[in-house]
């Protein structure tokens, strides 16, 4: 049960038992206590258990409660605390509001009760006042009647006195009367005293009643005032209540907002927590990274320091390097100048080389003779007697050849080179490669193979097309020309090559690259039909032109080999038709080389003639008749013409019979002047061919003794001729 507050207003106490006493106390003019409420913590023992009934509030408490929010700097607190505080405040506000409600109701009932009590007291007072007024009027009436009586009695007294006088006589008589009258008077006086006393009492009562009425009126007015005050307080309280309700609504709204915010906050909190977790792990990782980065940074700073030092050093060295660079630049400039000089020297050197090469070749002889001995073939194996031997003296080694049987006469010959039966195609080519090079240098070069049929001329010049290792001088020379021309590209040389392939049979030219070419009979027929005479012309520049001859521009050795294949095919077709007559014709491959050097504006025009001559065997040996005789005569004619030309050239005769045969006519520019000629003399080493071999070697020895060009006949060691 709540303890009663000493300052509590009279209507505030729930226990009505005391109200009468209080009213009485009020009646006694006790001053009202100010409207205050104190939170009594001890009141929690209230039986209904509600907090509103257990806590009492003072005005200051409420004000403190209302002002509480403003007092605290909530903004600085975190959300959770804020929330808790808000909830606590709301809780307390709710308690306060509930308490206010209860108090209000109590006040209402107390005010009503007080008003009712006041009304009752008023009515009672009225009744009592009326009673008292009646009593007073009665008293007044009594007094007036008593006064009247008094007056009467006074008059009566006077009368009595008069009477006394009169009666004095009758005093005695009347003494008794007087006595009785005195007694009556005494009685009356007593009565009067009593009446006066009662009047006084009545007056006191009246006064008292008046006072009471006054006090009642005062208390009534006070009660009215109190009522008004209460009413004011009620209005105030209502306003406060309204305010509180507004506040409550506002707070409720705020609470809702706060709740929403709280939900959001909780959501946010959970998100934040998860983020926080992630962030924590990230932070950890970052911290790790940070620490490692810090280490790295310190390392890098150290490095930076070092690098700066290095940079300074490098700057210094860069300065030096720049100086060096300038020096080097100057050196490079000098070197470039030197290079230009050297390049010029190279060009000059190249010119010199050509000149020297030419001189060497000239010294070697502008016409040279190589002898090649064919090994014994399977069909020759029956022959036991070897007719060929090679002198081993230092002077003769590789240059000498001895022909003759052991018993018989021996013939020794020396040539520029003698290839025994073991010499490979490659060995042979090595010796002629420099001569081939001369064609690229702009000379006219002529290489031909001379010898009896079957001595290996075709083998030497063409080789075996089926075996790459057995390629003859023609394909090997052409390949070298292409290879060298390509390597000379670096020096600024650009070469244009043209090839033509022909055959001379019975003083008739056959174009072996013509698409129409076939047999000689056909060729002749075609020549007459198409008017193709293949007439030979030489211009003043020493260039040979064979009219109507197919000339093919070639860019690679592969193209040439395919052209040679084609020519060989056409030639072999002819051979079949002409019954192994290929050895009856001269096979001429001509490569025209035109070189231009873009750098030096030099220009060269070289010609390389590669000729597989017809068999040189004598008519007596072949025993030919008819067409074969004619063929043999034509061959002999052209071969003797060739030797005539060579000897005429050697003797520097005014007239050189070039035009006596198609072959010499064709080769004229390649035999004159500073042109270079190489003759292979092919011989067989079998005994049966000894005579023909001897003839060939004798002819070759004569040729070998000849020096073409500006020089005269060089004395050469020739024996057995
Ligand atoms: P030619 O053309 O002078 O009539 P060939 O070149 O046709 O003679 O040669 C006749 C035969 O001898 C061919 O079968 C050829 O292969 C062979 N022959 C020629 N010279 C050699 C050599 N140096 N080594 C191997 N075989 C050769
Ligand atoms: Mg041949």
Write the residue with the smallest CA distance to atom 23 of ligand 1: 374
Write the residue with the smallest CA distance to atom 10 of ligand 1: 454
- The confidence score (pLDDT) of residue 97 equals 85
CATH code of the domain in which 513 resides:
3.40.850.10
Residue after which a domain boundary falls, among 317, 346, 375:
346
pLDDT tens for residues 670-710? 888 778 889 999 998 888 888 888 889 998 988 887 765 54
Lowest mean pLDDT of 106-120, 412-426, 617-631, name the range. Answer: 617-631
Give CB contacts under 8 A, 24+ apart, made by 226-230: 226/32, 226/114, 227/111, 227/114, 227/115, 227/118, 230/11, 230/107, 230/111
For residue 455, give the nearest of 292, 617, 584, 289 by alpha carbon. Answer: 617
Q: Is 393 a domain residue?
A: no
User: What is the band of 449 on the pLDDT scale with cuts at 50, 70, 90?
Assistant: very high
Q: Is 416 a domain residue?
A: no
| Average pLDDT of span 210-219 | 79
Q: Is residue 55 within 8 Å of 40, Cβ to Cβ?
A: yes
| Average pLDDT of span 227-238 | 81
Lowest mean pLDDT of 191-195, 475-479, 624-628, name the range. Answer: 624-628
- Find the ligand nearest to 582 CA: 2
| Average pLDDT of span 432-439 | 89
- The confidence score (pLDDT) of residue 623 equals 60
pLDDT tens for residues 474-521? 999 999 999 999 988 888 889 999 999 999 988 889 899 987 654 444
59 and 96 both lie in a single domain: yes
Among all chains, which residue has been given the structure tokens 């093919």?
A: 552
Q: Is 280 a domain residue?
A: yes
596 and 484 both lie in a single domain: yes
List the domain range (segments joined by +) for residue 143: 114-331
User: What is the band of 461 on the pLDDT scale with cuts at 50, 70, 90?
Assistant: very high
Residue after which a domain boundary falls, among 293, 312, 346:
346
Expressed in angstroms and rounded, the spacing between residue 420 Cα and the centre of ligand 1 is 13
Write the residue with the smallest CA distance to atom 16 of ligand 1: 459
42 and 126 both lie in a single domain: no
520 three-state secondary structure: helix
For residue 448, give the nearest of 568, 582, 612, 587 by alpha carbon. Answer: 612
For residue 450, give the nearest of 717, 720, 701 by alpha carbon. Answer: 701
Residue 681 CA to residue 388 CA, distance in Å, equals 14
Check whether 455 is labelled as a binding-site residue: yes
235 and 109 both lie in a single domain: no
202-211, 352-361, 513-522, 536-545: range with highest mean pLDDT: 536-545
565 and 708 both lie in a single domain: yes
Residue 591 CA to residue 437 CA, distance in Å, equals 13
Beta strand residue intervals within 551-704, DSSP E: 552-554, 586-597, 603-612, 676-684
User: In sequence order, which residues have a C-beta less than 8 Å from that of residue 362 and are 6 or more positions away?
Assistant: 674, 709, 710, 711
412 three-state secondary structure: strand
For residue 257, give the nearest of 388, 86, 389, 131 by alpha carbon. Answer: 86
> Per DSSP, what are the bridge partners of residue 593?
497, 606
574 and 662 both lie in a single domain: yes
Q: Residue 423 CA: which ligand 1 atom is closest?
A: 23
Give the residue with greater pLDDT, 55 vs 586: 586
Q: Residue 461 CA: which ligand 1 atom is closest?
A: 6
Check whether 456 is labelled as a binding-site residue: yes
567 and 684 both lie in a single domain: yes
Expressed in angstroms and rounded, the spacing between residue 401 Cα and the centre of ligand 2 is 23
Q: Residue 612 CA: which ligand 1 atom is closest?
A: 2
93 and 208 both lie in a single domain: no
Lowest mean pLDDT of 54-63, 144-153, 371-380, name the range. Answer: 54-63
DSSP state of 463: B
Q: Is 285 exposed, middle or buried (0-12, 13-18, 19+ CB in 10 A)?
A: exposed
- Find the ligand nearest to 680 CA: 1
- The confidence score (pLDDT) of residue 713 equals 34
pLDDT tens for residues 152-176? 888 877 887 787 677 677 667 667 7
Which residues line the pocket of ligand 1, CB cutoff 6 A?
374-375, 377, 451, 453-459, 583, 615, 682
341 and 247 both lie in a single domain: no
Residue 721 CA to residue 709 CA, distance in Å, equals 24
User: In sequence order, which residues have a C-beta less than 8 Å from that of residue 226 and are 6 or more positions away?
Assistant: 32, 114
482 and 606 both lie in a single domain: yes
491 and 559 both lie in a single domain: yes
- pLDDT > 90? residue 630: no
| Average pLDDT of span 41-48 | 40
- pLDDT > 60? residue 373: yes
Determine the residue of 456, 680, 681 to mutate for testing ligand 1's pocket, defined as the one with the most ligand atoms within 8 A of the Cβ atom.
456
- Find the ligand nearest to 465 CA: 1
Write the residue with the smallest CA distance to atom 18 of ligand 1: 456
User: What is the band of 460 on the pLDDT scale with cuts at 50, 70, 90?
Assistant: very high
Q: Is 322 a domain residue?
A: yes
Instruction: Supply φ then ψ for residue 363, to 5 degrees.
Output: -65, -40
| Average pLDDT of span 537-564 | 87
Expressed in angstroms and rounded, the spacing between residue 453 Cα and the centre of ligand 1 is 9
Give the residue with greater pLDDT, 419 vs 687: 419
For 15, the token pair is 């226990």
Lowest mean pLDDT of 104-118, 451-465, 616-630, name the range. Answer: 616-630
pLDDT tens for residues 239-271? 888 888 888 888 888 888 888 888 888 888 888
For residue 679, give the nearest of 460, 479, 499 by alpha carbon. Answer: 460
| Average pLDDT of span 301-329 | 87
Expressed in angstroms and rounded, the spacing between residue 254 Cα and the centre of ligand 2 is 125
- pLDDT > 80? residue 601: yes
Residue 174 CA to residue 262 CA, distance in Å, equals 116
Residue 160 CA to residue 690 CA, distance in Å, equals 241
| Average pLDDT of span 226-230 | 81
565 and 629 both lie in a single domain: yes
Residue 562 CA to residue 567 CA, distance in Å, equals 9
Write the residue with the smallest CA distance to atom 22 of ligand 1: 374
Residue after which a domain boundary falls, among 301, 331, 361:
331
User: What is the band of 430 on the pLDDT scale with cuts at 50, 70, 90?
Assistant: very high
For 689, the token pair is 């061919």
Q: Is 369 a domain residue?
A: no
Q: Is residue 505 within 8 Å of 581, Cβ to Cβ?
A: yes
- Find the ligand nearest to 472 CA: 1
Q: How many domains does the chain have?
A: 3
Determine the residue of 374, 381, 418, 696 to mutate for testing ligand 1's pocket, defined as the one with the most ligand atoms within 8 A of the Cβ atom.
374
For residue 637, give the nearest of 668, 616, 606, 610 by alpha carbon. Answer: 616
- The confidence score (pLDDT) of residue 85 equals 80
DSSP state of 35: S
Q: Is 376 a domain residue?
A: no
Q: Is 224 exposed, middle or buried (0-12, 13-18, 19+ CB in 10 A)?
A: middle
Q: Is 391 a domain residue?
A: no
Q: Is 358 a domain residue?
A: no
- The confidence score (pLDDT) of residue 573 equals 58
Q: Is residue 687 within 8 Å of 383, Cβ to Cβ?
A: yes
Lowest mean pLDDT of 149-163, 222-236, 528-542, name the range. Answer: 528-542
Check whether 528 is labelled as a binding-site residue: no
Check whether 269 is labelled as a binding-site residue: no
Average pLDDT over the chain, rounded to whole? Answer: 78
């Amino acid at each position: 049960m709540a303890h009663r507050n000493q300052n509590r207003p009279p209507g505030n106490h729930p226990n009505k038992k005391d109200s009468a006493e209080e009213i009485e106390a009020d009646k006694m003019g006790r001053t009202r206590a100010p409207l205050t409420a104190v939170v009594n913590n001890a009141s929690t023992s209230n039986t209904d258990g509600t907090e509103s009934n257990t806590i009492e509030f003072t005005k200051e408490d409420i004000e403190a409660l209302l002002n509480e929010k403003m007092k605290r700097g909530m903004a600085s607190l975190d959300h959770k605390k804020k929330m808790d505080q808000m909830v606590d405040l709301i809780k307390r506000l709710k308690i306060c509001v509930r308490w206010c409600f209860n108090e209000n109701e109590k006040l209402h009932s107390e005010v009503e009760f007080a008003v009712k009590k006041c009304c009752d007291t008023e009515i009672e007072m009225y009744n009592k006042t009326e009673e008292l007024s009646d009593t007073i009027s009665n008293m007044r009436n009594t007094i007036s009647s008593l006064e009247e009586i008094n007056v009467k009695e006074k008059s009566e007294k006077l009368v009595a006195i008069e009477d006394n006088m009169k009666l004095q006589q009758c005093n005695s008589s009347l003494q008794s009367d007087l006595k009785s009258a005195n007694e009556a008077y005494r009685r009356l006086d007593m009565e009067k005293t009593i009446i006066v006393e009662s009047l006084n009492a009545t007056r006191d009562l009246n006064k008292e009643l008046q006072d009471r009425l006054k006090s009642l009126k005062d208390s009534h007015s006070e009660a009215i005032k109190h009522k008004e005050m209460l009413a004011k307080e009620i209005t105030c309280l209502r306003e406060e209540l309204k305010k509180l309700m507004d506040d409550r609504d506002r707070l409720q709204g705020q609470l809702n907002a706060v709740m929403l915010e709280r939900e959001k906050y909780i959501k946010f909190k959970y998100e934040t927590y998860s983020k926080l977790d992630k962030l924590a792990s990230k932070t950890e990782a970052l911290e790790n990274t940070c620490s490692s980065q810090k280490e790295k940074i310190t390392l890098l700073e150290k490095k930076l320091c070092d690098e700066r030092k290095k940079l300074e050093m490098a700057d210094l060295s860069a300065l030096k390097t720049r100086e060096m660079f300038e020096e080097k630049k100057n050196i490079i400039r000098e070197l470039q100048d030197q290079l230009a000089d050297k390049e010029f020297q190279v060009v000059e050197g190249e010119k010199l080389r050509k000149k020297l090469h030419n001189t060497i070749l000239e010294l070697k002889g502008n016409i040279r003779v190589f002898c090649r001995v064919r090994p014994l073939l399977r069909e020759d194996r029956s022959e036991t007697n070897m007719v060929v031997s090679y002198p081993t003296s230092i002077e003769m080694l590789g240059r000498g050849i001895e022909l003759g049987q052991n018993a018989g006469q021996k013939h020794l010959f020396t040539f520029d080179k003698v290839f025994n039966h073991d010499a490979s195609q490659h060995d042979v080519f090595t010796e002629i490669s420099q001569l081939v090079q001369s064609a690229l240098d702009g000379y006219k070069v002529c290489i031909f193979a001379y010898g009896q049929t079957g001595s290996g001329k075709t083998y030497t010049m063409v080789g075996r097309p089926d075996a790459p290792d057995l390629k003859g001088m023609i394909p090997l020379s052409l390949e070298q020309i292409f290879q060298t021309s390509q390597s000379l590209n670096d020096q600024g040389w650009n070469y244009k090559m043209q090839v033509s392939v022909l055959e001379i049979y019975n003083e008739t030219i056959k174009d072996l690259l013509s698409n129409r070419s076939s047999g000689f009979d056909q060729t002749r027929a075609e020549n007459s039909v198409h008017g193709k005479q293949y007439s030979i012309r030489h211009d003043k520049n020493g260039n040979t032109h064979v009219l109507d001859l197919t000339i093919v521009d070639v860019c690679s050795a592969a193209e040439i080999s395919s052209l040679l294949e084609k020519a060989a095919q056409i030639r072999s077709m002819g051979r079949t038709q002409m019954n192994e007559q290929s050895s009856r014709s001269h096979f001429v491959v001509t490569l025209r080389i035109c070189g231009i050097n873009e750098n030096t504006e030099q220009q060269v025009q070289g010609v390389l003639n590669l000729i597989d001559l017809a068999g040189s065997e004598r008519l007596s040996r072949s025993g030919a008749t008819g067409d074969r005789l004619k063929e043999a005569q034509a061959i002999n004619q052209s071969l003797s013409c060739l030797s005539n030309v060579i000897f005429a050239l050697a003797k520097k005769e005014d007239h050189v019979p070039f035009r006596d045969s198609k072959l010499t006519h064709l080769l004229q520019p390649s035999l004159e002047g500073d042109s270079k000629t190489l003759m292979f003399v092919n011989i067989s080493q079998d005994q049966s061919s000894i005579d023909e071999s001897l003839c060939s070697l004798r002819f070759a020895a004569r040729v070998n003794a000849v020096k073409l060009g500006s020089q005269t006949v060089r004395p050469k060691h020739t024996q057995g001729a």
